[in-house]
Amino acid sequence: MFLITSFIVLVLFGIWLVLIFLRKTMWDAVHRNLIDLEDHYSGKIIRSGFAARPVFHCKLNNQDLTINFSTARTKSGRKTYIDFSLTISSSVSITIAEKEWLAEQDSNNANSDSVIYINDDLHYIVLPANNRKIQKILERPDFRKTLQKFDKMAYLFVGKSGTICEFWTDKIDRDTEFTLMKNRIDQIQLLHSVLK
């Protein structure tokens, strides 16, 4: 009996070590990708532990930019997100959320009347829905054109406290490559300029 228990504990310990190794390997790949951002934006990568998620921080046009990573359980399974936080603020508070993502959050807002149709599979909900300032922004052709450039965006919030934008990813090592990350930073800044 002791041998069987010892064997089971040993197998579980081995599985745990493999999972830690896979997690470390994944976040090591992300860390390597962020090094290009670190060089381009004179930023800094912070990593607090052996298998910890890296965090990137820099100054961008005299504003703070922080990129970190999170995971959340959804109806369709666990999802990983790339989170962009900027201290760029706006007098108008607006949330732009991908409709499918919003529905996965069990939000009643997924049925809002303020929908922007990008294509057959991609729709964004804009909140608050009945706001004159926001309706004027939605009518601008450059707003829709800028929004069409986003890929895998879960939501973007702009307000007096700053800007937060999250993108979902199913291939974190590919989706953190320099070109794609720089494009996302540029898109967030461009959308923010359109929202002014």
For 80-108, what is each residue's pLDDT tens digit?
999 999 998 887 888 999 988 888 876 66
Question: Which stretch of DSSP H or E encloses residue 162?
Answer: strand 162-169
| Per-residue confidence band for 109, with pLDDT thresholds at 50, 70 and 90 | low
Tell me the torsion sign for CA atoms 80, 81, 82, 87: negative
Please state, in angstroms and rounded to a whole number, the distance separating the CA atoms of residues 24 and 117: 39
Instruction: List beta partners, residue 127.
Output: 95
Q: Which residues of 74-105 are buried (b: 16+ CB within 10 A; e: fewer)?
A: eeeeebbbbebbbebebeebbbbbbbebbbbe
pTM: predicted TM-score of the whole model, two decimal places = 0.84
| DSSP 3-state of 158 | strand
DSSP 30-87: HHHHHHHHHHHHT-EEE--STTPPPEEEEEETTEEEEEEEEEEEETTEEEEEEEEEE-
Highest mean pLDDT among 32-41, 86-95, 129-138: 32-41
Contacts of 149 (CB under 8 A, 6+ apart): 187, 190
pLDDT exceeds 90 at position 166: yes
Instruction: List beta partners, residue 71.
Output: 80
Nearest partner of 101 among 23, 168, 179, 47, judged by Cα: 168
Residue type, 49: G
